[in-house]
């Protein structure tokens, strides 16, 4: 039996001089924890406003909240339901979500996606610098708890965004700051994102490659990522490495074209 081929990067990623990764849902399996906390924060607010339909932790999360700051996410979702929330309401929902997320994080912990870890280790072995980006102030803790902090040369999180007064996604400021810290122009770097706001930020920032990660595999989720700016879409980052056994449900998206 012939030996299995050694893994290597797919052609479209091979030319990237640096890679910038979103944290929640791309590096760590924390998007579901954020979504659950948002649901617990939003549902009482919706009920009080007379809305019968609760927050959907899959579709509502990915369309209106994922990748955004807490205040932006809270305001955008409530507005999507036809509400005109006062600033105090938005702040209260965002604060409740923060408390609930921290509680869930402390109680259950967090892990990194195995396919992402394999890709990160390959990039490190090939001397490709990587950065982690997040609108959340919890990104450093998530990276530490999941055991992958050492794989990143730079981290730009919500704390850094506040300190530098960087606008949130879909503005590309967070990604551009990460690329700057890695010393690579955006046009020669790749962005890896699972949020619609994030892939749009990568496109707006002029990055050479924008990879969308479709964890939900919903009926329109891959198409939505493409529409917002993803050049290619994968279900797991191990699909960006050839010679892997993982099924490639978006195989047409990871070729050379």
Region class of 136: left (phi > 0), else alpha (psi between -120 and 50), else beta: beta
Q: What is the DSSP string of the chain?
A: -PPPPPPEE-HHHHT-SEEEEESBTTTBTTHHHHHHHHHHHHHHHHHHTT--SPP-TTHHIIIIITTS-HHHHHHHHHHHTT----HHHHHHHHHHHHHHHHHHHHHH---B-HHHHHHHHHHHHTT--EEEE-SSTTHHHHHHHTT-GGG-SEEE-HHHHHHHTPPPTTSSHHHHHHHHHHT--GGGEEEEESSHHHHHHHHHTT-SEEEEE-SS--TTHHHHHHHHT-SEEESSGGGGEET--S--TTGGGSS--
Is 157 part of the annotated catalytic residue set?
no
Is 253 part of the annotated catalytic residue set?
no
β-strands 241-242, 8-9 pairing: antiparallel
Pairwise CA distance, residues 59 & 110, whole Å: 22
Q: Which listed residue (22, 66, 214, 236) is catalytic?
A: 22
Pairwise CA distance, residues 155 & 24, whole Å: 13
Active site residues: 22, 24
């Amino acid at each position: 039996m012939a030996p299995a081929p050694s893994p290597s990067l797919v052609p479209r990623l091979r030319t990237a001089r640096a890679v910038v990764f979103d944290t929640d849902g791309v590096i760590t399996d924390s998007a579901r924890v954020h979504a659950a906390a948002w649901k617990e924060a939003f549902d009482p607010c919706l009920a009080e406003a007379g809305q019968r339909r609760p927050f959907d932790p899959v579709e509502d999360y990915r369309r209106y909240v994922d990748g955004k700051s807490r205040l932006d996410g809270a305001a955008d979702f409530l507005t999507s339901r036809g509400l005109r929330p006062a600033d105090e309401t938005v702040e209260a929902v965002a604060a409740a979500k923060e408390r609930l997320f921290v509680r869930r994080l402390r109680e259950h912990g967090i892990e990194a996606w195995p396919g992402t870890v394999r890709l990160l280790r390959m990039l490190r072995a090939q001397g490709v610098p990587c950065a982690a980006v997040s609108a959340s102030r919890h990104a450093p803790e998530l990276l530490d708890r999941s055991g992958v902090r050492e794989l990143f040369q730079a981290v730009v999180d919500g704390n850094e965004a506040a300190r530098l007064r960087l606008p949130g996604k879909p503005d590309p400021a967070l990604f551009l700051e990460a690329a700057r810290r890695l010393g690579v122009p955006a046009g020669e770097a790749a962005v890896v994102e699972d949020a619609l706001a994030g892939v749009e930020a990568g496109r707006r920032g002029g990055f050479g490659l924008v990879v969308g990660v479709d964890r939900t595999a919903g009926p329109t989720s891959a198409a939505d990522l493409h529409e917002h700016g993803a050049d290619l879409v994968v279900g797991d980052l191990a699909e960006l490495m050839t010679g892997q056994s993982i099924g490639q449900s978006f195989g047409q998206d990871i070729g050379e074209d």
